[in-house]
Amino acid sequence: MRDSVGLNERMFAWYYPFVVGLAERAGLREIRRTLFCRAEGRTLEIGAGTGLNLPHYTPAVSELVVTEPNSHMLAHLRLRLGSDRLAVGAWQLVQTGAEVLPFEDGCFDTVTAAFVQCTIPDPATALAEIARVLRPGGRLLFLEHVRAPEGSRLGRFQDLVEVPHRYVAAGCYPNRRTETVLRRSALRVEQLEHGSQPRSSPTVRPMIFGSAVRIDA
């Protein structure tokens, strides 16, 4: 949910680095490192935000294509890409959403995504696009906050605050059932772990992370 003049997007881009910084220092940074250091070959990052995944890519990434739809977040990204020395072979920045990716079929070895399925208007379409641009055998590395288990108090609370949460967090749904959507996609989940995002609001604390593979020829 976004207002007509994009005020909440500008506010979110301003305060997000401070909020997520608490979780990063409390252990989330290590989860990112362990997950995204597995990226290799030509790699696409979906919704890079402020660029928190960038330090974790290794020289195994021959080319990194970084995408972000939010023009206000792009300012953070450009600053980080301009000042940090990335270990990857080459990189480029593209402003685009995840539901219509401007790339050819099967042109990436790895796709990465961290905390993006919560804001994408149509997650199933985005996963279909990710599967399309991955080569057969290519891998999606994901880290997402999700709805708490069915029947839980937290899950019911996430449902209750969905509308105001979407406004203050620039379209972020606190109650997305991302694991279900992922398992119904054209990708085969090969690893999925449940965890708790440290030092974060209860509405975004439950999370999943792991990898899924495109298996069709």
**Domain at 7-214: CATH code:** 3.40.50.150
Is pTM, for the whole model, over 0.85?
Answer: yes
Do the beta carbons of residue 214 and residue 189 sit within 8 Å?
Answer: no
Per-residue confidence (pLDDT) for residue 2, from 0 to 100:
47
Sheet holding 42-46, edge to edge: 91-94, 63-67, 42-46, 108-114, 134-145, 206-214, 187-196
Strand-strand pairing, 187-196 and 206-214: antiparallel
How do residues 134-193 score in pLDDT, each as one tens digit? 999 999 999 999 999 999 999 999 999 999 998 888 788 999 999 999 999 999 999 999
Residue 99: both structure tokens together:
């539901």
Going along 72-151, which residue ranges are E strands?
Answer: 91-94, 108-114, 134-145
